[in-house]
Amino acid sequence: MNVSSKISNQLEPPMKRTWSDPIWLIKSGIWMYFYLLIFEGALRKWVVPGLATPLLIIRDPVALFILLTAYKYRLYPNVFYIKIVNVIGVISVITAMGVGHGNLFVALYGARTLFIHFPMMFVMGKIFTQLDVEKMGRAILWIAIPMAILIGLQFYSPQTAWVNRGVGGNMEGGGFSGSGEFFRPPGTFSFTTGLVQYFSIVSIFVLYFFIRSERINKFLLIGSALALVIAIPLSISRSLLFNTIIELMMMVMAVSTKSKHVSKIFTLFGVGFLALAILSQTEFFQVSTGAFTDRFDTANEAEGGLDNVFVDRFLGGMLKALSESTEMSFFGMGIGMGSNVGAQLLFGKANVFLISEEEWGRIIGELGPIMGLILIFIRIHFASVMAWRSFQFMRKDNFLPWMMLGVSFLIFLQGQWAQPTSVGFSTLMGGMMLAGFNESEDT
């Protein structure tokens, strides 16, 4: 038996696979939710493009199955957050029909995030353990390698190529405006934001397993790290670069006070500089890096520099939503109206923001100032509690929740819950982070 097999056996104890085992059923449902999140866009673009619209909510029945199974076997978490959010969901559907947009389908589409995906996060946090999260992290890293190859093909291929087909088989291409003649590739996702969120999670597990290298196959760690380095310029995404830098900072903070891990920081930066030095000599990497830096400079000039980008995108969006909350209708314009699906069903225009592009503005616009601010406060409180618990676990040498916090914190605060892929990653990240606190004897 080789070393990787021994590690696998130690970290992944066998699970009783039977339909009568509720734990196995729920865990299987969570894994199905995970794979559908990663490959939903591939189904909508290449496999069954004719079903692109219904596939938009393909994970909803899976999440509902998980919740119902947990409830049936008394595994449903008794969490105050869920109770408050469900009350908000019920009231929001009623007010949307009574004084809002009046479309039941739009209201239910908007409320499904509160009824289904938000509670699933806590079920996942209750059923999964840290070992399950590590297992899912290794799966994420395995997928990163072919994903990097795919986005390389998308980056260098014309938008008319099969690999760049858009949702529903759209021949105009699924890439998003990037730099010059190059488009931002979406990978297996419907849109480039899914790719950015995915590789942001890749950065978490690459750096986490670099610290806990005994828990992963070394070839997988090296391959996924190279995939991440290659994906950053290919994505033409500043957000992915920022998230990776944040994760590096989180790792340094975590291990800097642990003498047994300090040497790993120097090793990581040494290997990183060596890899960049080698890759920078290849034309493949030079072209993608050139496109990325051009996009970086152009966007920064248009938005007034990095400091203004941060203020406008994050703090600015928050302050704007709060300042305009008093001008909104008391019950809002109706839940679901701020989503692209809501815009399509109500006015026949999918690619518009009827309320606000920022998440907090959308929430207050849909729900009104009172319910909107309550929901925002819940998200702030949850993010704050996760941050404090992660810090406490980090001090006890459990780095997983702390590493996940770097990317998760802003997702909890301002993740776009009106967009199916974004709410999927918000649910997945929240669930994995909660499960990261469930230590076992082997962790």
Percent of the chain whose pLDDT exceeds 90: 51
What's the one-letter identity of residue 373? L
Quick one: average pLDDT of 428-443? 84
* Residue ranges of domains in the chain: 3-435
- At residue 175, the pLDDT reads 60
Measure the CA–CA gap between 98 and 7, rounded to whole angstroms.
58
Q: What is the pLDDT of residue 117?
A: 96
Residue 242: is its pLDDT beyond 80? Answer: yes
Strand, helix or coil for residue 182: strand
Tell me the three state secondary structure of residue 178. Answer: strand
When pLDDT is cut at 50, 70 and 90, the band that residue 428 belongs to is very high
pLDDT higher than 70, residue 289: yes
DSSP 50-95: GGTTGGGGTHHHHHHHHHHHHHHTT-S---HHHHHHHHHHHHHHHH
Backbone φ and ψ for 31, nearest 5 degrees, come out as: -65, -35
The pLDDT tens digits for 139-195 are: 999 999 999 999 999 988 888 888 888 887 776 766 656 555 778 899 999 888 899
Using 50, 70 and 90 to split pLDDT, how confident is the model at 309?
low
What is the chain's Cα-based Rg? 22
Give rounded-to-5 percent helix, strand, coil for the chain: 75, 0, 25
Query: Which of the pair, 160 or 128, is modelled with greater confidence?
Result: 128
| Closest among 138, 204, 124, 229 to 399, alpha carbons compared | 204
40 touches 421 (CB < 8 A): yes
Distant-in-sequence, close-in-space partners of 371: CB < 8 Å, separation ≥ 6 = 88, 91, 92, 331, 332
Q: How far is CA 223 from CA 227, 271, 427, in A?
A: 6, 13, 27
User: What pTM value is reported for the model?
Assistant: 0.89
Q: Mind listing the pLDDT tens digit for each residue in 26-36?
A: 999 999 999 99
Per-residue confidence at 5, pLDDT binned at 50, 70, 90?
Answer: very low
Give the pLDDT mean for 402-425.
Answer: 90
Residue 303 pLDDT > 60: no
Q: Exposure of 358 by Cβ count < 10 A (0-12 exposed, 13-18 middle, 19+ buried)?
A: buried
Query: Strand pairing partners for 184?
Result: 176
Concatenating the DSSP letter of every residue in 206-258 gives HHHHHHTGGGS-HHHHHHHHHHHHHHHHHHT-HHHHHHHHHHHHHHHHHHTT-
pLDDT at 107 over 70: yes
Listed ranges 4-13, 116-125, 360-369; the one with the highest mean pLDDT:
116-125
Query: Which residue's structure tokens are 């702390």?
Result: 402
Amino acid at 303: E
Return the minimum-mean-pLDDT range out of 150-154, 211-215, 337-341, 354-358: 354-358
User: Do 321 and 364 form a contact (C-beta atoms < 8 A)?
Assistant: yes
The alpha carbon of 179 is separated from its chain's Cα centroid by a whole number of angstroms, namely: 24
Q: Quick one: pLDDT band at residue 10, thresholds 50, 70, 90?
A: very low
Q: Give the model's confidence band at 346: pLDDT under 50 very low, under 70 low, under 90 confident, else very high.
A: confident
CB half-sphere exposure, 107, CA atoms < 13 A:
21
What integer pLDDT is reported at residue 440 of this predicted model?
65
Q: Is the pLDDT of residue 247 over 80?
A: yes
Q: Beta strands 176-179 and 182-184: pairing type?
A: antiparallel
Report the share of the chain in percent with pLDDT over 70.
Answer: 81
Residue with tokens 């950053």: 232
Instruction: Quickly count: other Cβ atoms within 10 Å of residue 52's Cβ.
Output: 18
> Tell me: the pLDDT tens digits for 35-94?
999 999 999 999 998 898 889 899 999 999 999 999 999 999 999 999 999 999 999 999
User: Quick check: 256 and 265 in contact, CB under 8 A?
Assistant: yes
